[in-house]
Amino acid sequence: MTQLERVAVIAGGLSSEREVSVRSGRRALWALGEAGVDAVLYDADESLLDRLRGDRIDAAYVAVHGASGEDGSLQTALQLIGIPYVGPRPGACHLAWDKVVAKKLVGRAGLATPDWVAISARSFRELSPTRLVGAIADRLGLPVVVKPATSGSTLGMSLVTDPAELPAALVRCFTYGNLALIEKYVAGVTVETVVIDEHGGPVALPPAAFTNPGTSPFSFEARYSPDLITIEIPAPLPFDALEATAAAAVTAHQALGLRDMSRTDVVVDDAGTPWFLEAAISPGLTETSVLPLAAAEAGRTLGDLLADLLRAAVERGPNG
């Protein structure tokens, strides 16, 4: 077994998801310590690369959420300075980070995904918002979900049930990115599934269902406040729907070229069909995140799981 002398947990950064990232980083640091791994927490700032090179780090676990850690730029920087890391190659990061591209790729792989259109902030400014709103409603119907094409943690996300609300929802969305993804709303159970690369290939951990009784799920507070969210693992779905959801997560993982681990979010409708929404290359580790819960449900401690992934990163090297 590969020995880990010292590993880095990289968190923080300057994105709008910094708070969640810091919480995930601290959880990873604690879990690795429980597993007997010497781990050091680093902020993703201007001193990061120099500190990593000077501290003789074996490998890095990237807990940076948002563009800073999920669009492939940080992974490229780690490759350039020769630090192995947990997660996909930079090119795959780009594919998963852009929800529009991800939807196209998983659709080609055979997964269902809600009908959608994408509108840029520039087009919204230069063209007639009234005409655009009418065309979107005619194409997709209502309700629709509006969200940034490149963001996470429900930031900038809205459920629109009235055409008159759509312009304001798009303006909120453009606060977090220059491209808005407008999806047809699919009613059902929201389910998140983590996939882990094992020696025999990618394996889905038990899917988890998320509900927000009494509050809208389309808010940052609802997603990350333990008193506002209910998590059931495994998800309370019929066996066939649960199997289909797990299989969809593995398919998304492979279609996007992901590595080590990923999280796929779907809505499972009344017929048991999982509808792909998005994939994350760096699943959160907060108290309302699925990865720690799914690992425990599968009989693995979070620290041992992360340590195994770090060992795999060391074995393949920075450019593997």
Render pLDDT for 49-67 as a digit per residue (tens, 0 to 9): 999 999 999 999 999 998 8
- Total-model pTM: 0.94
pLDDT, position 3: 85
As a whole number, the mean pLDDT across the chain is 92
CATH superfamily label, 116-184: ATP-grasp fold, A domain (3.30.1490.20)
What is the C-alpha to C-alpha distance for residues 280 and 261, in angstroms, rounded to an integer? Answer: 9
Fold of 95-113+187-281: D-amino Acid Aminotransferase; Chain A, domain 1 (3.30.470)
| Of 106-120, 190-204, 207-221, minimum mean pLDDT range | 207-221
Q: Is 3.40.50.20 the CATH number for 7-87+309-316?
A: yes
Q: What band does 217 get if pLDDT is binned at 50, 70 and 90?
A: low
Question: Where does CATH 3.30.1490.20 sit in the chain?
Answer: 116-184
More confident residue, 152 or 301: 301
The residue length of the chain stands at 320
Structure tokens belonging to residue 62: 């990237």
pLDDT grade for 143, boundaries at 50, 70 and 90: very high
Higher confidence at residue 240 or residue 223? 240
Residue 30, pLDDT score:
98
Residue 220: pLDDT over 70: no
| Residue 129 pLDDT class (50, 70, 90 cuts) | confident
Would the pLDDT of 16 be above 90?
no
Residue 223 scores a pLDDT above 80:
no
Residues of the chain with CATH 3.40.50.20: 7-87+309-316
Where does the chain hold its CATH 3.30.470.20 domain(s)?
95-113+187-281
- Give the per-residue pLDDT at 212: 73
Mean pLDDT across 254-260: 98
Among left, alpha and beta (phi > 0; psi -120 to 50; other), residue 283 is: beta
Is the pLDDT confidence value at 130 over 90? no
